[in-house]
Amino acid sequence: MKEGLIIDCFAGGGGASVGIEMALGRQVDIAINHDPDAILMHKTNHPDTLHLTEDIFKVDLQKYVKGRHVSLMWASPDCTSHSKAKGGQPRKHGLRILPWAVYKHAKMILPDVIIMENVEEIQQWGPLDSEGHPIPERKGEDYKKFIKAMESLGYIFDSRELVAADYGAPTTRKRWYAVFRRDGKEIIWPEPTHSKSGADGFCRWKQCGDYIDWSDLGKSIFDRKKPLADATYARIANGIDKYIVKNLYPYRVRNKEALSFIIQYHGETRAGDSRGQLLTEPIKTIDTSNRYGLVMAFITKYYKTGIGQGLGSPLHTITTSPGHFGLISAFLIKYYGAGGGQTLDSPLGTITTKDRFGLVNILLEIEGETYIISDIFLRMLKPEELKVMQGFPEDYIIDRDYNGNKYPVSKQVARIGNSVVPIMAKKMVEVNCSYLKTGERMPNMRIDDSEKQLRFA
């Protein structure tokens, strides 16, 4: 028999809920969200849960709890109007007060344990001025009022800022976690299992490159029907400079035929810089837009008499043809500022083994061998890749609802970006509510229709 109800107050696509399920082997009993799309995704993965598509302030939880005991309530209020990612933009008062909905429901149904997750800036929650900007001298005022209000209900409280990568998730997402409990038990914090360096007995942070679908390498950035934006070319060039040319240990993939890194589609902090990362690191925080691009720089061995032209073709001597290499050299020269360059409709200038010109400018020494870049591919990261980098199980369904209707990529990414890192929910619940465990999580059934005969996994 269940040890009381479990409620997910801001259920979203189900990050916290599946984390709880991973910890306890049981689905949450009630899930609440105002967004029908979020509820559809949640219902697909948690069919036995009671789903409420309602405003968190207006929903009457007592009506659905029906006097039953509530053992655990998870609450991750919308963080956008607290996050530093908002910069200097005005905040929305209606979103900033969402934690008070947690207090409202806690007062009415008194869960034994309440776990909250939010951006660390929630601790600076305070009043806004007439233009919607936080009043600096009153930072933290509303946060302290909220904590005191929760404690007035008989809850003890503790909070910490935790990085998901330290607990085995392949993302460096950092969040504020808080535990309130009124059952007489102590608050427990999970012990880290990983570290950036892997020293002192910890495992090294998981690298996001392990979660890339390397069967899809993207396509060349050259000769596209619709050329990439100049800003994208600049990001790629700056990234090649930072993560490949100036990096002693670039990330090698596909039988060592290519070097790879990730670029971020956000403005660079300064001219010539690159916002991105190596694939040997956990992915940085995933937001609700698809901002990550995978760059593949294909390499071939460098020879004094010529250079490789294709990965599967013999090496050819470079002539004055204004072909593919002319495009690459113009691209690199334009954005590295490493010379005067040339127009693409003129013959390629003489290439020697000494003077730097165009692509030959990029000589790479890797493991004692000298290489040059022969082509550059780009594609956006897929929702399925972002999903597992966020810490979701591979079987978690994000591409369709329970009726089989397909979700557009934008909605899949939005659900992932808004989600709690499931591994963090698992860790927090495991140490604080282990007595609620009823078994192990059952993976979703997956159907493989790639062949003539259907396969179920």
pLDDT tens digits for range 250-265: 999 978 899 999 998 8
Domain of residue 71, CATH code? 3.40.50.150
State whether 366 and 450 are in the same domain. Answer: no
State whether 126 and 19 are in the same domain. Answer: yes
State whether 180 and 310 are in the same domain. Answer: no
Residue type, 423: I
pLDDT tens column, 177-220: 999 999 999 999 999 999 999 988 999 999 999 999 999 999 98
The per-residue pLDDT for 353 is 32
How many structural domains is the chain composed of? 2
The per-residue pLDDT for 451 is 65
With respect to residue 76, please indicate whether it lies within any of the assigned structural domains: yes
Q: Distance between CA atoms of 247 and 245, rounded to whole angstroms?
A: 6
State whether 328 and 252 are in the same domain. Answer: yes
State whether 38 and 92 are in the same domain. Answer: yes
With respect to residue 214, please indicate whether it lies within any of the assigned structural domains: no
- Domain endpoint, select from 350, 380, 410: 380
pLDDT over 70 (residue 270): no
State whether 431 and 368 are in the same domain. Answer: no
For residues 77 and 91, the answer to whether their CB atoms sit within 8 Å is no
With respect to residue 213, please indicate whether it lies within any of the assigned structural domains: no
State whether 230 and 314 are in the same domain. Answer: yes
Give mean pLDDT, residues 166-172: 95
From 5-9, 296-300, 359-363, the region with the lowest mean pLDDT? 359-363
From 121-135, 192-206, 245-259, 307-321, the region with the lowest mean pLDDT? 307-321
- Domain endpoint, select from 347, 380, 413: 380
pLDDT tens column, 68-105: 999 999 999 876 554 555 445 554 655 678 899 999 99
The per-residue pLDDT for 188 is 98
Token pair in block for residue 276: 């991105």
With respect to residue 195, please indicate whether it lies within any of the assigned structural domains: yes
Strands 156-163 and 174-181 come out as antiparallel
With respect to residue 77, please indicate whether it lies within any of the assigned structural domains: yes
The per-residue pLDDT for 169 is 94
With respect to residue 24, please indicate whether it lies within any of the assigned structural domains: yes
With respect to residue 388, please indicate whether it lies within any of the assigned structural domains: no
**pLDDT classification of 1: cutoffs 50, 70, 90:** very low
With respect to residue 387, please indicate whether it lies within any of the assigned structural domains: no
Token pair in block for residue 389: 């980098």
- Domain endpoint, select from 380, 415, 440: 380
State whether 322 and 431 are in the same domain. Answer: no
Closest CA to 433 of 67, 100, 43, 19: 19
From 58-62, 236-240, 304-308, the region with the lowest mean pLDDT? 304-308
State whether 110 and 166 are in the same domain. Answer: yes
pLDDT over 70 (residue 328): no
C-alpha distances in Å from residue 12, one per residue of 32, 35, 103, 360, 428: 8, 8, 19, 50, 18
Q: Distance between CA atoms of 241 and 334, rounded to whole angstroms?
A: 13
Q: What is the domain range of residue 371?
A: 219-380
Most confident of 265-274, 290-299, 389-398: 389-398
The pTM of this model reads 0.84
State whether 258 and 310 are in the same domain. Answer: yes
State whether 279 and 178 are in the same domain. Answer: no
State whether 226 and 352 are in the same domain. Answer: yes
The per-residue pLDDT for 272 is 59
Name the average pLDDT for the chain.
Answer: 81
For residues 374 and 307, the answer to whether their CB atoms sit within 8 Å is yes
